[in-house]
Amino acid sequence: MSTNIFWQESPIGKTERQKLLNQKGCVVWITGLSGSGKSTLACSLSRELYTRGKLSYILDGDNLRHGLNKDLGFKAEDRVENIRRVGEVAKLFADAGLICIASLISPYRKDRDASRDPKGLYKLARAGKIKGFTGIDDPYESPLNCEIELKEKEGECPSPVAMAEEVIAYLEAKGFLQNQ
């Protein structure tokens, strides 16, 4: 690691960027097993924020593996590096004043029974055709102290829009969507 590097301050700070955007930058990190609806929720949340005049950007785990993280596999150390990189990018987006929606499996607590299988991946993993699959033969550690948890209500999973509304209510209560 190089010791001869220094952080370059911007002449326009986070406060000025947030004032310009009329919102506070933050990171909404959506975690869950493969196929659990993370990307669907992220897209609904982004759309709902947009309708309120708020600027967000989705960092989707699959999309990031096409570019930023295409050199990483699915071994434990690669998964840790994947989350580390996304975390650093998410911090930059939040510093820019955006609402960053990070949608990743995030299998390990220290870095952050399958109920849905739209891609048929759990079936393949259980049949031994996919090795190292999170939630089957690779761990998924549920968050211990998440700020908001979206749960079933009366045995029914809320719609993505309803879940997005719950997240937006939380962001409003915390002051992230308030006019500056």
Q: Which residues are catalytic?
A: 106
Tokens matching residue 167 = 């997240």
Helix (H) or strand (E) holding 63: helix 61-64
Tokens matching residue 81 = 């590096």
Strands 56-60 and 26-30: unpaired
Look at the chain and count its residues. 180
Helix (H) or strand (E) holding 56: strand 56-60
Q: Most distant CA pair in the chain: distance in Å? A: 57
Helix axes 38-51, 160-173, angle to 10 degrees: 60
CA-based nearest residue to 58, from 38, 82, 42, 36? 42
140/98 Cα distance (integer angstroms) = 29
Residue whose entry in the numeric block shows the structure tokens 């033969």: 137
